[in-house]
Structure 1
Amino acid sequence: MSRFRAFISIDIEDEEVVNRIVEVQERLKASGADLKLVEPENVHLTLKFLGDIPESRVTDVVNAMEKAAETVEPFTMRLKGIGVFPNPNYVRVVWIGVQEGSDETKAMAAVLEQELGRMGFRRERKDFVPHVTVARVRSGRNKGRLIEAIRELSNVEVGEVEVDRIRLKKSILRPQGPEYHTVEEVEI
């Protein structure tokens, strides 16, 4: 049986917003930190990471996605501000936050967590924080300059994205970076 690495996302496809994200990434990169930037075509908000799933589970996942999509109307997601995981003293991931639209993304993530958990998918241990990952930190090189760049960008305005669908994505890991393909799409 064929399996694939999967996640459920809100894709960021607005060209202006993606360009502003790239500008933020360039400012982070200018710090000299050892970063792996998310490719512009891969920028998204993950509602639920599923891991490796058998293709036979796609229908179950889509059913959960449909229930999640029913909980909200199409909405505007406003991307603003920079955050980090796990904490400012040990930065592994740099992300842009969701200001407006946070309640809707949390509602959908909660339904996905509940429905998929019931189907045997692994439950998250941490609370869902709506965010768009822009970079992963590979080493501690120039950590102080990276922290300063993050501080300078703390209130950066990235823009608004109209959200009217969620997608089940297949992630193919390649040496040059991941490649994402839409498997199924559910309208809100």
Structure 2
Amino acid sequence: MGPVTDTRTRPVALAVWLVIAGAVGWWAAYSLTMERFELLANPGAAASCDFSVLVQCTANLESPQGSAFGFPNPILGLACWVAPIVVGMAILAGARFATWFWLLFLAGMTFAFGFVLWLIGQSIFVLGTLCPWCMVTWVVTIPSFYAVLLHTLRIVGTGAISRTAARLTGWLPLLAIVSFAVIAVIAQLRLDVLDNLF
């Protein structure tokens, strides 16, 4: 039997994060779905996560951007956040995934990351609102993408790419914090968040 390679390692820390992020993301999607049902049942009502003109869910849920694919975005979250939970639990149970699986999983996370970036732009620059449950989704999607990207590069990359990805993995928390800070600065400059929270 040959030596164990990087593609066969068990990324336990990544697995734990995927389970946590998946559960948090799924709960946010579930909460938004319930809010959407409530708004459909009671037109004109305010969602329970409406705290001010700036911080609210209603404007986002009832906007065209809130149904980007023809159905409410939270339904997409309900379906898709199960995947990181399953992958994370499978790794913790001892599963080893092939390179092609990680590439497909990265493709899915890249879609999620791109979609979230689009939604962030729409929220800040078009709708002028910050949806609390949407922001929870942002908080788990962004670092999840970075984590899966670096892990995939580490196992499929060669030479410098793999080594760089392995080194950057330790900087994931800082990378996520910097990303959140950039979003916060943009939101502040565009929406004057500090003066319009309540």
TM over 0.5: no
Which structure's CA Rg is the greater one? 2
TM-score range, shorter chain: under 0.3
TM-score when normalising by structure 2: 0.26
Identify the structure with the greater strand proportion. Answer: 1
The structure with higher relative contact order (CA 8 Å, sep 6+) is 1
